[in-house]
Amino acid sequence: MSRSSSQYNVVVIGGGPGGLVAAAGLAGLGARVALVERDRMGGDCLNTGCVPSKALIASARVAHLQRHAGRYGLTPQDGQVDVARVFERMRLRRAHLAHHDSPERFESLGVHVYHGAPGLFLSPAAVQVGDETLHADRFVIATGARALVPATPGLKETPHYTNENFFDDLTTAPPSLAIMGGGPIGTEMAQAMSRLGVPTTIIEMGPHLLAREDPDATSVVSAALAADGVEILTGHTAKEVMPGPVSLGPRSVRVTIEQQATGEMQQREFGALLVAVGRAPNVQGLGLNAAGVTHDPRHGIKVDATLQTSRKNIFAIGDVASPYKFTHVADAQARTVIRNILIPFKPVKFATRVIPWCTYTDPECAHVGHNETSARQAGLNFAVHKFQLSELDRAVLEDMTEGFVKVLADDRGRILGATVVGTGAGDWIHEYVTAMKHGISLPALAGMIHAYPTLGEASRRPADAFMRTRLTPMARRILGWRWGRHKPD
């Protein structure tokens, strides 16, 4: 397509997962589309998030299996790890996937890519990109989020990692690693680095890891991390950070840690520090005031249920506008925006009732809908139906018995939410995603045939537990009477 005109149907600002889906989808439907990305195409997911972290986790899992081969009747290996080689493998796998998000590929799809230049709104209908001004009928803001660095004294002045530089700048194993934050990034990287031979400590101010999950789920994950050698300091806060001794390396730190319950202070030294305390939306430098788009630094861009901003011709998707900071949410929101741009007279709302997520520790912790904590906060009436993986044949055979499946349902068996903790939980949570999306109840799940022996068979067991609750005292008496009449003489 010619760039002779700066007039577009849609300008997408941000080349992460949401922006790429929106740009490719709209261009494929015949729209004249421009995509603006100031940094690396693919966004956090490809470059500094999902992709590199899962590659590291894969290597760490193999090292773990080598050391624990005795569980399978095999000879354990020493599991010696060359962290530099592991990180090089991660970068090669990331590069292998990067072409899917390259400017060249999107140009071939009919998208005009403005790569390396920031986008600055001049008005609700125009954005400046380098030396050019692009005009459009519609805009989609998909600028994502960045690592949040707290105002801990000394932290900004002390060399440290966030997810944005950890995967590229770490080239050799530090003698030890401290991680501020016990959320998904903190727990995943703590377990991976510990399995790769780096003594690792998590400093988490909350009472348990993975604050958005129920305590029974986090206790399984915490026990697994502890078994892998991770030191977990929940209820602790990093009060001050300063450079550590040179003997521990050029990025060493000295951290003053406070135990919140007692006020007791301790000073610890680590070879490196990873800050993983949350994400901040990228709203700065966009000229949002000139565009008339309501926003704030903490919550990002305000959107309605159809993902429109305060300016009806401007949409916002992904981490810059959503409390659900996941790649799959940005993807789904992009698809909603594509439809609402194409059919503006009948917009659809982005549904948030059935959004799954997963923390990729070992065992994994996956979740959709309500958990017990959120259901109580919402005042819902529900019952809990829970099945331990230690009772599942395939889990016993695979030595993967840590974890459980837990389903919340009303008295008719309608599913309100599910939590799965176990190996591969992120894959088999989707049976519950499908059930909730399409109104499939626990009685219906109980009637489904699941292949034996599989881990996915565990998905049916809470449904079986629900069906046993349907056998009321009256039903028991009737059945007892019936079979009692047919006892042999």
356-469, CATH topology level: Enolase-like; domain 1 (3.30.390)
**163-277 matches 7-41+102-147+280-342 in CATH topology:** yes
Task: Please tell me the distance from the alpha carbon of residue 360 to that of residue 54, in angstroms, as a whole number.
Answer: 8
pLDDT at 80: 82
* Summary mean pLDDT of the chain: 94
pLDDT at 248: 95
The Cβ of residue 264 has, within 10 Å, a number of other Cβ atoms equal to: 10
Quickly tell me which residue has 């010619």 as its tokens: 2
The Cβ of residue 440 has, within 10 Å, a number of other Cβ atoms equal to: 18
Taking 50 as the pLDDT cut, the residues of the chain under it are 1, 489
pLDDT at 118: 87
pLDDT at 479: 66
| Own/partner pairs, 132-137, CB within 8 angstroms, 24+ separation | 132/6, 133/6, 134/6, 134/8, 134/11, 134/34, 134/36, 135/6, 135/7, 135/8, 136/7, 136/8, 136/9, 136/10, 136/11, 136/34, 137/8, 137/9, 137/10, 137/313
Helices (H), 29-82: 43-48, 50-67
Quickly tell me which residue has 């939306």 as its tokens: 281
How do strand 145-147 and strand 177-180 relate by DSSP bridges? unpaired
Domain spanning 163-277, CATH class: alpha beta
pLDDT at 398: 95
Domain range list for the chain: 7-41+102-147+280-342, 163-277, 356-469
Dmax (CA) for the chain in angstroms is 98
pLDDT at 1: 46
Residues recorded for the chain: 489
User: How would CATH label the architecture of 7-41+102-147+280-342?
Assistant: 3-Layer(bba) Sandwich (3.50)
pLDDT at 3: 67
